[in-house]
Amino acid sequence: MLKFHSALTTRAVTTATETSMKPTKKTTRPATGKTSESTFITPAAPVIPDGFDLEQSVPYLLNRAGVGIGVAFTTYLRQFDITLPGYRVLASLAHKDQQAIVELAEHTSIDVSTLSRLVTSLEDKGLVMRRRDDADARSVKIHLRPQGAQLASQTIPLGVLFERVVTAGFSAEEVKVLKQMLRRMYTNLAPLGE
């Protein structure tokens, strides 16, 4: 079953006769905790398109590439005693230190509750620390500690190397366009509730 934002229904579906509308439901986005309303739609008469081939499906291909990269990268990260989500946190903080948990969740694509536990684990390892914002005592920011910055400097080049490997044979323009398309796909996920 697909879940589309009601405002996007006409764009996402060819004709009204192809769909069956169901009541609006409130959902919460995991990364931000924001609540939004979504309308569930399902095909009125589910039919497999002629010539459908799973291995030519964009979601399948993206997942296959993403899982493959993630598994391989995780194997290399083990030597640094860091997980892939942990790497994302360190890399994001190396790019922009002092982030609030919600901001960091958005940048790392890790939901807030999972990220909070991960940050605690990274704190226990001495890699990051939570500290109240000097400008706003109510706000807590996540900071890289020196050991975390050192680990980021060791692992980020590995991430860059992986990008070069998976884009081997691509021109610089192709890589640029690929990144733009992937960002657009991620944006397009919003109506689906991620």
Q: Where are the beta strands (DSSP E) in the chain?
A: 2-4, 19-28, 35-43, 99-100, 128-132, 140-144
Range of the domain at 14: 2-43
**Strand partners of residue 4:** 39
Residue 13 contacts residue 41 (beta carbons within 8 Å): yes
**Residue 50 falls within a domain, yes or no?**
no
What CATH number has the domain bearing residue 163?
1.10.10.10
**Strand partners of residue 129:** 143
**Residue 106 falls within a domain, yes or no?**
yes
Structure tokens at 172: 């610089």
Number of domains in the chain: 2
Is residue 83 domain-shared with residue 11, that is, in the same domain? Answer: no
Is residue 70 domain-shared with residue 129, that is, in the same domain? Answer: yes
Is residue 39 domain-shared with residue 106, that is, in the same domain? Answer: no
pLDDT of residue 13: 40
**Residue 49 falls within a domain, yes or no?**
no
Is residue 86 domain-shared with residue 153, that is, in the same domain? Answer: yes
**Residue 194 falls within a domain, yes or no?**
no
Rg (CA), the chain: 20
Is residue 169 domain-shared with residue 110, that is, in the same domain? Answer: yes
Q: What is the pTM of this model?
A: 0.74
Is residue 166 domain-shared with residue 120, that is, in the same domain? Answer: yes
Is residue 73 domain-shared with residue 149, that is, in the same domain? Answer: yes
Is residue 147 domain-shared with residue 85, that is, in the same domain? Answer: yes
Is residue 163 domain-shared with residue 90, that is, in the same domain? Answer: yes
Is residue 38 domain-shared with residue 99, that is, in the same domain? Answer: no
Name the one residue in this structure whose structure tokens are 């697909």.
2
CA 184 to CA 167: how far, in whole Å?
Answer: 19
pLDDT values of the chain reduced to their tens digit, one per residue, 194 residues:
344 444 344 344 443 334 444 444 555 555 555 555 555 556 666 788 889 999 999 999 999 999 999 999 999 999 999 999 999 999 999 999 999 999 999 999 999 999 999 999 999 999 999 998 777 777 899 999 999 999 999 999 999 999 999 999 999 999 999 999 999 998 988 877 65
pLDDT of residue 14: 41
Is residue 79 domain-shared with residue 173, that is, in the same domain? Answer: yes
Is residue 123 domain-shared with residue 174, that is, in the same domain? Answer: yes
**Residue 48 falls within a domain, yes or no?**
no
Structure tokens at 181: 């398309």
CA 85 to CA 152: how far, in whole Å?
Answer: 13
**Residue 51 falls within a domain, yes or no?**
no
